[in-house]
Chain A
Amino acid sequence: DTEVTQTPKHLVMGMTNKKSLKCEQHMGHRAMYWYKQKAKKPPELMFVYSYEKLSINESVPSRFSPECPNSSLLNLHLHALQPEDSALYLCASSRGLAGEVGEQFFGPGTRLTVL
């Protein structure tokens, strides 16, 4: 298995809802990432996990809560989001954090719409 999968593909939620995004990889990668991408913009890093520990939090609002239950799985819990949080949420993984093993492979993304 050489891909990063993300579910759901599309999500519509209200501002009072609680939902979760899921990301999975079975490539044995030990680093996983969440990015946010607005239309016609580059991906923006949100969180980095290395060996299931949070390595980077790019000052993301607390309404986004990441979780890494094991080395293959990464979740993003969403609560009390705002309409401006609507975006494509991308997950990525890499074998490690340095050198050639740092090459990041992206999933297809979850298109989130907040009403």
Chain B
Amino acid sequence: QQQVKQSPQSLIVQKGGISIINCAYENTAFDYFPWYQQFPGKGPALLIAIRPDVSEKKEGRFTISFNKSAKQFSLHIMDSQPGDSATYFCAARGGRYYGGATNKLIFGTGTLLAVQP
């Protein structure tokens, strides 16, 4: 119940295409779902996040789609650019399941995105 499953493990997209990364979870007590972008040798950077009472959130070229009934959420990167090549992690926050506000993030396994010019 504490896992977040992420797919695909790696993704190759042509410049200008749409990159789609999917995540699924089991624990309905998760209350916050961020996406992080990480470049080699750097720390993860918060990209965009969504709450389970919202079905979609868009920030620039990045969109999170959230399906509460299916317990799935996805990241869409529109007009993908070579500079978007990085590892992307979805995550879910523990919420009530952890007996209070601990803000513990459960990360997916990561997706290595390569955008070809």
- Does chain A have a CB within 8 A of B28? no
| Contact count band on B | 20 to 34
CB distance from B29 to the nearest CB of A (A): 13
A and B contact pairs by CB, cutoff 8 A, 14 listed = A40-B110, A41-B109, A41-B110, A42-B108, A42-B109, A45-B104, A92-B43, A98-B101, A102-B101, A103-B46, A104-B34, A105-B46, A108-B42, A111-B41
For the complex, would chain B's binding face be called helix, strand, loop or mixed by DSSP majority? loop
Q: Which residues of A contact B44 (CB under 8 A)?
A: 43, 90, 106
Q: Which residues of A contact B93 (CB under 8 A)?
A: 102
A interface with B by C-beta (< 8 Å):
4, 6, 31, 40-43, 45, 48, 55-56, 90, 92, 94, 96-99, 102-109, 111
Q: Which residues of B contact A41 (CB under 8 A)?
A: 109-110
- Picked from A55, A102, A109, the residue with its CB within 8 Å of the CB of B32 is A102
B interface with A by C-beta (< 8 Å):
32, 34, 36, 41-46, 49, 89, 93, 101-105, 107-110
Q: Which residues of A contact B108 (CB under 8 A)?
A: 42
Tell me the total A-B contact number using a CB cutoff of 8 A.
59
Task: Let me know if B103 and A104 touch, CB within 8 A.
Answer: yes
Q: Which residues of B contact A99 (CB under 8 A)?
A: 32
Q: Which residues of B contact A4 (CB under 8 A)?
A: 43
17 extra interface residue pairs, beta carbon distance < 8 Å, beyond A48-B104, A104-B34: A4-B43, A31-B103, A40-B110, A41-B109, A43-B89, A43-B107, A48-B102, A55-B102, A56-B102, A90-B43, A90-B44, A92-B43, A102-B101, A104-B46, A104-B103, A105-B46, A109-B43
- With A102-B93, A103-B49 known to touch, is A94 a contact of B103 (CB < 8 Å)? yes
What residue of chain B has the Cβ atom nearest to residue A110's Cβ? B43
CB distance from A57 to the nearest CB of B (A): 11
What residue of chain B has the Cβ atom nearest to residue A45's Cβ? B104
